[in-house]
């Protein structure tokens, strides 16, 4: 095993090659071109409008990692991993790969991020990620789809693990495209929902809520959770929201919720909980992404307890799910 250490380190050093190669395949839509059967390199190159020789080398490398397969006649086909890059695949990862490819210039700024404490995304693009996406509608739509691709599988896991019984009105603070609320209301048809996000986000949310046939069960409210949140709910949920922000910013958000939540209300924070020790954890990978992109962080149980205590909440329970996230329930003190 010891003799493999140099190559293990080479693979880690060159890991960005894998990431960017997958992103290029996703951006070109190569998996979509293979839905109806194998294609030769020449056919794929013609349909994708790319250089055949360079495309072959990209596919050969990806095939060596289990993404795509070349048969003995030089035809390429999908593998289970490549299938996840199809646009129409269940839990498709194509949007996620496209997003990371388009934002790849963030990673060369990681050293400056660590040295100075400044966010790598802002260093790369000149403004914070959510402000930047407000000026880039195409990238914002890809970002929304990427969040679904990364976190879509969590929704059923959360609904299977945690009971929403007793909640009449649920407010989703930072609702994004509304996918979480849609799934929750379909599971709990007597529940009503309040979806809260910025105006430019709600324009996309409304389309998804309407497509799900849930318009009559939902109220869409525009605003900033740094200024206020809507009243009228008996439970307030946030999935992958607090991890975008610093402790001080989280306390500000939680303080606004504390002002409107009923005395017997529930605060549901759906995020990863970082375990102690050196073992691998998805939360530790996500934490590096949070550090580089929105200047946020994944938190440990003690860190959640601290921001709750500082904003008038008490940590009530942590319910693990079959996904990387847990349901962290807090109650107003």
**pLDDT tens string 109-155:** 999 999 999 999 999 999 999 999 989 999 998 998 898 888 878 99
**Does residue 172 sit in the same domain as residue 268?**
yes
Residue 100's nearest CA partner among 242, 285, 293 is 293
**Does residue 94 sit in the same domain as residue 174?**
no
**Does residue 18 sit in the same domain as residue 165?**
no
**Does residue 150 sit in the same domain as residue 273?**
yes
**Does residue 152 sit in the same domain as residue 265?**
yes
Here the CATH number for the domain that contains residue 52 is 1.10.10.10
**Does residue 76 sit in the same domain as residue 191?**
no
**Does residue 87 sit in the same domain as residue 161?**
no
Contact 164, 184 (CB under 8 A): yes
**Does residue 270 sit in the same domain as residue 328?**
yes
Percent of the chain with pLDDT over 70: 99
Calculate mean pLDDT across residues 81-105: 95
As a whole number, the mean pLDDT across the chain is: 95
Strands (E), 41-83: 69-70, 75-77
From CA 286, how far away is CA 289, in angstroms rounded?
5
295 has a pLDDT exceeding 70: yes
**Does residue 41 sit in the same domain as residue 9?**
yes
**Does residue 118 sit in the same domain as residue 198?**
no
Question: What is the structure's pLDDT at 13?
Answer: 93
Question: What is the structure's pLDDT at 90?
Answer: 85
Least confidently predicted of 84-88, 142-146, 220-224, 261-265: 142-146
Contact 184, 209 (CB under 8 A): no
Contact 203, 197 (CB under 8 A): no
Residue 248's nearest CA partner among 296, 176, 286, 302 is 296
Calculate mean pLDDT across residues 70-83: 97
Residue ending a domain, choose from 78, 100, 122? 100
**pLDDT tens string 62-72:** 999 999 999 99
**Does residue 114 sit in the same domain as residue 191?**
no
Question: What is the structure's pLDDT at 200?
Answer: 84
- State how many domains the chain has: 3
Here the CATH number for the domain that contains residue 216 is 3.40.50.150
Band the pLDDT of 1: cuts 50, 70, 90.
very low
Contact 274, 281 (CB under 8 A): yes
Report the range out of 28-37, 88-97, 203-212 with the highest average pLDDT.
Answer: 28-37
Structural domain of residue 236, as residue ranges? 138-332
From CA 221, how far away is CA 204, in angstroms rounded?
13
Calculate mean pLDDT across residues 225-239: 97
> Would residue 243 show up in a list of annotated catalytic residues for this protein?
yes
Question: What is the structure's pLDDT at 3?
Answer: 61
**Does residue 88 sit in the same domain as residue 107?**
no
Q: Which of 151, 208, 240, 243 is catalytic?
A: 243
238 has a pLDDT exceeding 70: yes
Contact 31, 82 (CB under 8 A): yes
Structure tokens at 224: 């900033």
Cα–Cα distances (Å) from 323 to 56, 173, 272, 283, in that order, read: 36, 21, 9, 11
Structure tokens at 316: 């009530």
From CA 262, how far away is CA 256, in angstroms rounded?
12
């Amino acid at each position: 095993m010891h003799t493999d250490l140099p190559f293990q380190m080479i693979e880690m050093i060159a890991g960005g090659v894998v990431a960017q190669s997958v992103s290029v395949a996703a951006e070109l839509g190569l998996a979509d071109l293979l839905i109806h059967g194998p294609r030769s390199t020449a056919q794929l190159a013609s349909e994708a409008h790319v250089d055949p020789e360079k495309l072959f080398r990209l596919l050969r490398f990806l095939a060596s990692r289990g993404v795509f397969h070349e048969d003995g006649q030089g035809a390429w086909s999908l593998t289970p991993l490549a299938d996840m890059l199809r646009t129409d695949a269940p839990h498709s990862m194509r949007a996620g790969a496209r997003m990371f490819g388009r934002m790849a210039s963030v990673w060369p700024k990681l050293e400056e991020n660590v040295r100075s404490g400044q966010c790598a995304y802002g260093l790369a693009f000149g403004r914070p990620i959510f402000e930047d996406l407000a000026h880039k509608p195409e990238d914002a739509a890809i970002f929304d789809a990427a969040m679904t691709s990364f976190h879509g599988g969590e929704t059923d896991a959360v609904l299977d693990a945690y009971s929403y019984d007793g909640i009449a009105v649920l407010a989703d603070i930072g609702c994004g495209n509304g996918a979480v609320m849609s799934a929750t209301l379909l599971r709990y048809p007597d529940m009503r929902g309040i979806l809260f996000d910025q105006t430019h986000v709600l324009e996309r949310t409304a389309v998804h809520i309407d497509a799900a046939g849930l318009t009559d069960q939902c109220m869409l409210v525009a605003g900033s959770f740094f200024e206020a949140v809507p009243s009228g709910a008996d439970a307030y949920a946030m999935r992958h929201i607090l991890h975008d922000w610093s402790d001080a910013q989280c306390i500000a958000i939680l303080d606004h919720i504390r002002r409107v939540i009923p005395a017997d209300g529930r605060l549901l924070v759906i995020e990863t909980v970082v375990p102690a020790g050196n073992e691998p954890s998805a939360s530790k990978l996500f934490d590096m992404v949070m550090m580089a992109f929105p200047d946020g962080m994944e938190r440990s149980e003690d860190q959640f307890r601290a921001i709750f205590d500082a904003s008038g909440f008490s940590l009530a329970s942590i319910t693990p799910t079959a996904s990387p996230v847990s349901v962290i329930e807090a109650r107003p003190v």
